[in-house]
């Protein structure tokens, strides 16, 4: 059994945030029907990322497993009729059109809630469905800039730097999945659906818990600190003889253990570093003192020393090294599925483990329109009608 196996989700999304949300739901058992334009499908399928053997990009394969694909011309009367039939039979509709587009298509929440009052209608956009920026196009980069992330990322005094991961896209996808599940629980009590609305801007801004606490408590505008932490020290990357290591000696007990472990007990009583406040005030001197010592040994040596001393620390992996670590495999964070064109496809594992109702990878990312006939038959369409819809390029 999977926790969401009774949930049917209509996925009208493309690119990153929306498909990531619906993949989370699919991993937990939901029947996700990915509705795409006939011909080329959604933008990530053909136009973004690296290709392997087939036409679909690796980026598409990465965020569209556990879904079925139905191609549908939503601008045609027949296509809209099919979608409305699906809405009647579904629990959730997820869309990431720019605000106003679904209304022009006659597929907005106010219209569809009359078709299915229990429908959970979930929207992701750049800036949300309301507000002065709601009509603006939004991408991860724009949201990172306007949400403050780029002002605190990178080295002090350096140029603006975005996060290496598309965190506004990914956080919006996770928040929307959380919102859908919360609304699903509420619907079990009330019997009523609702509109769930989040945005890249709000999602990434909500992650700024330390930065806003600094702004609102001190009046200072937060600045970038490189790998360092704005509240604790030392909590950062330090040079070793062959690379870098991260160190989390972020309280007095760990600070003392760290100084003993690196053979520098005199730093414990150094007035510049006697507590966290003085270590923060003298951060540059602290880093210089510590790197005088950490550069004397290789990262692997320090890892062994820190492990014995109980000091939090770790190497800085590239992604190849991440998947060479046995812990990654023990936690099943690299999986494989069989794809009809690509063969064995590596994919990230499911990060939440549940003892009784675990998520699973049941389906590969679908070929364009692969499940159109199956979905339409479930709605009562016969083979002749399905063929006619293909001939008319409705599907």
Annotated active-site positions, please? 169
Note whether 38 and 393 are within 8 A (CB).
Answer: yes
Structure tokens that stand for 290 in this block: 């510590």
Q: What is the rounded CA–CA span in Å between residue 370 and residue 280? A: 57
- The CA distances from residue 279 to 226, 230, 234, 266, 282, in Å, are 16, 11, 7, 14, 5
In angstroms, the CA 126 to CA 133 distance is 9
Those residues with Cβ within 8 angstroms of residue 68's Cβ, 6 or more apart along the chain or in another chain: 31, 32, 33, 34, 363, 366, 370, 371, 374, 375
Cα separation, 373 vs 381, whole angstroms: 9
Cα distance between residue 313 and residue 290, in whole Å? 14
151 touches 164 (CB < 8 A): no
Torsion angles phi and psi, residue 126, rounded to 5: -65, -40
Residue 158 burial (10 A CB sphere; 0-12, 13-18, 19+): exposed
CB 237 within 8 A of CB 245: yes
Query: How far apart are alpha carbons 64 and 23 in whole angstroms?
Result: 6
Rounded distance, CA 361 to CA 106, Å?
A: 34
Polymer length of the chain: 395
């Amino acid at each position: 059994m999977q926790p969401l196996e009774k949930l049917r989700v209509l996925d009208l999304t493309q690119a990153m945030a929306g498909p990531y949300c619906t993949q989370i739901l699919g991993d937990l058992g939901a029947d996700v029907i990915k509705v795409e334009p006939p011909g080329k499908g959604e933008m990530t399928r053909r136009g973004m990322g690296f290709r392997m053997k087939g036409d679909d990009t690796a980026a598409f394969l990465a965020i569209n497993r556990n879904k079925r694909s139905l191609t549908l011309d939503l601008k045609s009367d027949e296509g809209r009729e099919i979608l409305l039939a699906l809405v009647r039979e579904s629990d959730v509709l997820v869309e990431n059109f720019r605000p106003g587009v679904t209304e022009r298509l006659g597929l907005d929440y106010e219209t569809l809630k009359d078709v299915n009052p229990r429908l959970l209608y979930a929207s992701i956009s750049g800036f949300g469905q309301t507000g002065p920026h709601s009509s603006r196009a939004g991408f991860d980069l724009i949201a990172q800039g306007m949400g403050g992330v780029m002002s605190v990322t990178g080295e002090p005094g350096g140029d603006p730097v975005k996060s290496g991961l598309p965190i506004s896209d990914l956080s919006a996808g996770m928040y929307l999945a959380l919102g859908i599940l919360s609304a699903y629980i509420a619907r079990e009590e009330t019997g009523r659906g609702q509109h769930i609305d989040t945005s890249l801007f709000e999602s990434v801004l909500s992650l700024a818990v330390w930065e806003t606490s600094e702004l609102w408590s001190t009046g200072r505008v937060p600045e970038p600190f490189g790998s360092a932490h704005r509240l604790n020290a030392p909590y950062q990357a330090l040079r070793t003889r062959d690379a870098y290591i991260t160190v989390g000696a972020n309280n007095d007990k760990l600070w003392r253990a760290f100084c003993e472990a690196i053979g520098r007990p005199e730093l414990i009583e150094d007035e510049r570093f006697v507590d966290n406040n003085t270590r923060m005030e003298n951060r540059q001197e602290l880093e210089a003192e510590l790197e005088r010592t950490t550069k004397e040994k290789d990262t692997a040596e320090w890892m062994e020393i820190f492990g014995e001393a109980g000091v939090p620390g770790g190497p800085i992996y590239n992604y190849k090294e991440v998947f060479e670590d046995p812990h990654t495999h023990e936690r099943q964070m690299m999986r494989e599925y069989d794809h009809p064109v690509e063969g064995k496809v590596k994919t990230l594992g499911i990060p939440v483990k549940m003892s009784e109702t675990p998520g699973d990878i049941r389906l590969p990312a679908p070929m364009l329109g692969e499940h159109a006939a199956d979905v339409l038959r479930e709605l009562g369409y016969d083979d002749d009608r399905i063929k006619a819809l293909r001939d008319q390029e409705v599907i």
